[in-house]
Amino acid sequence: MTTLLATLVLVPDRSDEVLTRLRSEVAPWLRRLPGFVTSRWLLAADHDRCTVVVELADAVAVPDLEAALAPGTHDTARSWWCERLEAVEDLGLAARPSITL
C-alpha cells in the first residue's frame, strides 16, 4: 500500500470555482488511476488549502500524480496548485469501529 499526502493551495476568492473543478475533474481522474484504493479530501476552514490523502495499492501511479500535479510549481494564472506531494506511512494508530479498546 502506498499513501500519499498532497497539499493543494486554493485561491480563496475563487474557492467555489476550485471546489467545483476538484469534484468534477480532479477527483474522478484520481479514482481512475491504476491501483487507486481511496482518498479523503480535507478543506481548511478559510478555504485556502485542501489536503488530500490518497491510498494506492502500489506506487505505479505516483509518477502520473507527480506529472499532473507538478508539486511546488506556483502558477498565478491558476486558481489552485499543488504545494506538496509526499509519500507517508500510516502508523495504524486510529481507532477502528470494529475494535474496542
User: Residue 33 belongs to a domain with what CATH number?
Assistant: 3.30.70.100
> What is the sign of the dihedral through the CA atoms of 84, 4, 81 and 20?
negative
Tell me the pTM. 0.82
Read off the pLDDT of residues 40-94 as tens digits, 9 standing for 90 and up.
999 999 989 999 999 999 989 999 888 988 888 887 788 889 999 998 988 878 7
Alpha helices by DSSP H, listed for 1-101, are 15-21, 27-31, 62-69
Residue 6 falls inside a structural domain: yes
Residue 99 falls inside a structural domain: no
* Residues 45, 9: Cα–Cα separation, whole Å: 13
Domain limits for position 60? 2-88
Nearest Cα to Cα of residue 27 among 47, 49, 42: 42
Residue 97 falls inside a structural domain: no
- The structural domain count of the chain equals 1
Read off the pLDDT of residues 13-54 as tens digits, 9 standing for 90 and up.
888 888 999 999 999 999 999 999 999 999 999 989 999 999
Residue 62 falls inside a structural domain: yes
